[in-house]
Structure 1
Amino acid sequence: MATSDEIRNARRALGRRLAQLRKAAAYTQHGFAQLVQYGRSSVANTETGHQYPDRGFWARCDAVLQTGGALAAEYDRIAGMGRRRHRVTAMQEPGRMLRQATPIRTGTSTTESGNCDVLWEHENSIDARRLALKSGTDDDARLAYLEDEIRQAITDNERLTPTILTARLRPLRAYVDQLMWGRQHPPQRARLYTAAAHLSGLLGALALDLRAYRMAHAYAAEAFDLADAAQQPDVQAWARATQSLVAFYSGDYHDALAYAQDGLRRAGTSPHRIRLAVNGQARALAHLGDRYGVDRTVDGAFTMLSDYPVDSTVSASLTLGPYCQARTAANAATAYLALGRTSGVTDHLTTAITAFDAAGLAGPRALSRLDLATAHLHADNPDPERAATLAVEALTLTAEQRFESVHQRARQFLTAAQPFAHHPQLRHVADLLADRTQVGATAPSALPSPP
């Protein structure tokens, strides 16, 4: 049987082995910590033997370092040594184990129970449980911090570049994983799963902006699974809206429709109904050619919008509340244009552009301009020059940000502009889209896959 010193030495040796493999792979502690989604101090303390994390840490290290599972296997071997030592110790010292497990007698007093033979726990055990119960206040503080960060990230989406916001959110997602190993009270667990669902949904939307489609699908699916585990229908509806968004821009219109419809079934009276209807269902139906379905869904979305107080504030694209008038109008216009209908589209887009310009949101400003540009091409008296001007404005507005939605919409605009391809301004739009460096944008990049 291994001694406690031997087990301790084996753990330290495993930490040293990790350090050797990390250095051989040319990772700094900081860079490696980001890849395994742990803190740098955790990596440093593990390598020096001052910390011994769980198996999940070692499995992530194996994945990043491509060791074939060697580190996790050694962790399992050391864990087995510890379990065997614990069993042998328990068998060799039955008296001590029995004394620990046996409650104490209270003596001969019958004033509280009426029975002098009643066995009681030691009061220290009760005090320990009370202390554990009170420790939940720390978790409340952590959860409040997470929820504040999520609300701020939802606000910052479309204002910051996807790369910057992703770098801010991935450590928070790893932090949530660490908290999930704790022993929170049931309401806190629900809040924790809700926070995790919102973070995964945000990361899914950002992955979509960065054209990392597989990551986007994975994060969005995880968001729904977490919401489902939390048994929060409102969060499930929000996650389904995000899955519908990812499917839509992946070209999977049937999936986008299915996710939106399932979200509506779960939403009840949730404010997410508007987003699910007009952003999810209406746009997918339009691409599937269901004109009647689009009319019915758009009318329903505006009816639902009337259930909420009129607010001039522009809602976030991934809002936790209802869609605003501008977002509803903009999405309705997108759906109608996909059907080739321009009636009423200009009014919707004028409303949206005015609000988005005032809010300073580059992505929505660009998308609405591209839709309006397309409407000018489909008008009874087409105006390709005005259309091209709007398209150039759209690409210029998003020159510093990577929005896959904008680039897809720009390609759709150019497809609609084929009959006017000789127009110089339209050729300029094509050049800007083909070579985004002309407007200061960076080339598309994919998110690094987490272990």
Structure 2
Amino acid sequence: MADSDEIRTARRALGRRLAELRAAGNLTQHDLAGLVRYGRSTVANTETGYQHPDRAFWVHCDRVLQTDGVLVGEYDRIAELDRQRRHSAAIQAARSTSVLVAPDAGHEVPDANGSAAPWEGEDSINARRLALKSSLDDNVRLAYLEAEVRQAIDDNERLTPVILIARMRPLRSYVDQLMAGRQHPPQRARLYAVAAHLSGLLGALALDLGAFGAAHAYAAEAFDLAEAAEQSDAQAWARATQSLIAFYAGNYQDALAYAQDGLRRGGTSRHRIRLTINGQARALARLGDRYGVDRAVDHAFTMLSDYPPNSSVSASLALGPYCPARTAANAATAYLALGRTAGVTDHLTTAINAFDTAGLAGPRALCRLDLATAHLHADNPDPEEAGALAEEALDLTADQRFESVHQRARQFLATAQPFARHPRLRHVADLLADRAQVAASGQAALPSLS
């Protein structure tokens, strides 16, 4: 078992490694401190081995220095050595301080009067408690993980899927390591919920990249973890994510089934609006159920009144309720799938204004594509304006890969077939073909997502 000298040596070596990588990146200690949002003294003391910051510090250093998890991997190895050392010390303390005789002697602990007592010695009990606590993942670690999940969900649609996947996969592996340990039941449930949200987020990011197999697998894992945690809210969230992936895979019956099961499990969950408008309404539209769509849309807008008015835009994988902008955007998508344009422009105007203010490229593009489709469905179709909106949508997402945008653009072009000779629309078709070619050339890298 590792001793304290070995751990101290390993920590100093890790500090020296950080200094080398920082220097290789042409960064001063002050530069690195600003990028990782820690004090310069923390960087300096860590590099000399006088300070041992938490895991979050090393995660940020790996991200800034682009070291592919080298630093946090070594931090985890040292942390495991330290855990083993403390666990071994606790066991040794239990053996050396216990007043119990050897188990095979058949004797009991004497009480204050010298008579045999049926309980163990206090030192033995306390040592066992120490051994238990030495392997527990404390609330600080869980709070860190939960904060990282919330931040990643907020960053979704703001950062590219590839960047977010690179950030999330090490966290998912870290959670796996923690799950192999021992936790009290409440902490265990929180840990499983974190794992569920991480897997669901990875599934949505894989979907963005068109990796449907990985997306389905991650989302199914997310639900299994949420179910194991016995948390109905996490189950509803996972079902909403499964419904999203099934919808873009073209499995509309599955998308509807997942949404309905999520509503059943979630009860009064905050995810009711997302499950209803993003899951039920859009799937029902693809299945041609006009009455079902009307009912789902009405129900979603009614549920919005249960929450305080809020001008901010919720995340696409929100851990809280859907916002009015996302509800309106999804309602428009559902009605357009049925070929209905009544009220669609009003819904899209609400959504576009909110998404433009928030600067979310994906939703901005999707709404413009829907508005372009609405222009083609109008009594006096306007292919020029429709083509301009579609071009704008593809320009907004030129630097990011969104499977949803690609599918919506293809659907727009299918609707635009009667105007296929229009120069604007031919240009949109060329842009989309170029995107598809680029995406196809990158397919070889997708299996690494799974």
Aligned residue identity for 1:99: A
**1:89 is matched with which residue?**
none
**1:239 is matched with which residue?**
238
How big is the shift at 1:120?
3.2
Pick aligned residue for 1:99 from 97, 102, 112: 102
**2:201 is matched with which residue?**
202
Map 1:77-96 to 2 at 5 A. none
CA offsets, 1:46-101, max 9 Å, x none?
xxxx99x9xxxxxxxxxxxxxxxxxxxxxxxxxxxxxxxxxxxxxxxxxxx98256
Aligned residue identity for 1:375: A
Distance in 1, Cα, partners of 2:293 & 2:434: 35
How big is the shift at 1:314?
0.2
Aligned residue identity for 1:241: A
Alpha carbons of 1:352 and 1:44: their partners in 2 closer, same or farther (altered >3 Å)?
closer
1:376–1:384 Cα contact (<8 Å) kept: yes
**1:337 is matched with which residue?**
336
Secondary structure of 1:251 counterpart:
coil
Aligned residue identity for 2:163: I
Q: Which runs of 5+ in 2 are unaligned?
A: 1-61, 85-99
Pair 1:426-2:414 in alignment: no
**2:375 is matched with which residue?**
376
2:284–2:292 Cα contact (<8 Å) kept: yes
Share of identical aligned residues, percent? 73
Alpha carbons of 1:138 and 1:244: their partners in 2 closer, same or farther (altered >3 Å)?
closer
How big is the shift at 1:132?
4.1
1:385–1:425 Cα contact (<8 Å) kept: yes
How big is the shift at 1:140?
1.2
> Could you say which structure has the greater relative contact order, defined with CA pairs below 8 angstroms and 6 or more residues apart?
1
Distance in 2, Cα, partners of 1:294 & 1:254: 14
Aligned residue identity for 1:343: A
Pair 1:150-2:149 in alignment: yes
Alpha carbons of 1:108 and 1:168: their partners in 2 closer, same or farther (altered >3 Å)?
closer
How big is the shift at 1:139?
2.2
How big is the shift at 1:349?
0.1
CA offsets, 1:186-211, max 9 Å, x none?
00000000000000000000000011
**1:395 is matched with which residue?**
394
Alpha carbons of 1:37 and 1:414: their partners in 2 closer, same or farther (altered >3 Å)?
farther
How big is the shift at 1:422?
1.1
**1:251 is matched with which residue?**
250
Distance in 1, Cα, partners of 2:348 & 2:287: 22
Secondary structure of 1:120 counterpart:
coil
**2:35 is matched with which residue?**
none
1:234–1:272 Cα contact (<8 Å) kept: yes
2:260–2:275 Cα contact (<8 Å) kept: yes
**2:112 is matched with which residue?**
109
Secondary structure of 1:121 counterpart:
coil
Distance in 1, Cα, partners of 2:69 & 2:251: 32
CA offsets, 1:292-338, max 9 Å, x none?
00000000000011100000000000000000000000000000000
Aligned residue identity for 1:374: T
**2:183 is matched with which residue?**
184
Aligned residue identity for 1:357: D
1:211–1:444 Cα contact (<8 Å) kept: no
Alpha carbons of 1:381 and 1:450: their partners in 2 closer, same or farther (altered >3 Å)?
closer
Distance in 1, Cα, partners of 2:194 & 2:112: 51
**2:119 is matched with which residue?**
120
Alpha carbons of 1:328 and 1:108: their partners in 2 closer, same or farther (altered >3 Å)?
closer
Distance in 2, Cα, partners of 1:38 & 1:218: 29
Alpha carbons of 1:212 and 1:38: their partners in 2 closer, same or farther (altered >3 Å)?
farther
Q: Over the residues paired in the alignment, what is the CA RMSD in angstroms?
A: 3.0
Number of corresponding residues: 366
Q: Which runs of 5+ in 1 are unaligned?
A: 1-29, 54-96
> TM-score by structure 2 length?
0.76
CA offsets, 1:125-160, max 9 Å, x none?
211233245547752111111101000000000000
**2:22 is matched with which residue?**
none
Aligned residue identity for 1:109: A
